Amino acid sequence: MPIDFEVGGVYLPPIAQALLLALPLFLLVDALLRRVGVLALVWHPALFQGAVYAAICAALLLWMGVSA
């Protein structure tokens, strides 16, 4: 069971922790995909980036052991 954190008096449930942890990972993956040129090959780059962010969040939640 993941631990709930309190940062500066603000309660952070595990889903919020995963969303915050996924942001720097997404920025790294996005920079890599831009450098390689993958975003030029997809139909809708913003939709693709949203899907990549969602996949990173889902992977973090699975890794953290959060159940729905």
- Residue 8 φ/ψ, nearest 5 degrees: 60, 35
Domain locations in the chain?
5-64
Please tell me what DSSP assigns to residue 66: -
Residue 61: exposure state from Cβ atoms within 10 A (0-12, 13-18, ≥19): buried
The packing angle between helices 14-36 and 45-64, to 10°, is 140
**What is the tens place of the pLDDT at every residue in 40-65?**
899 999 999 999 999 999 999 898 88
Q: Show the DSSP H helices in 1-68 as ranges.
A: 14-36, 45-64
Q: What is the pTM of this model?
A: 0.82
Mean pLDDT of the chain: 88
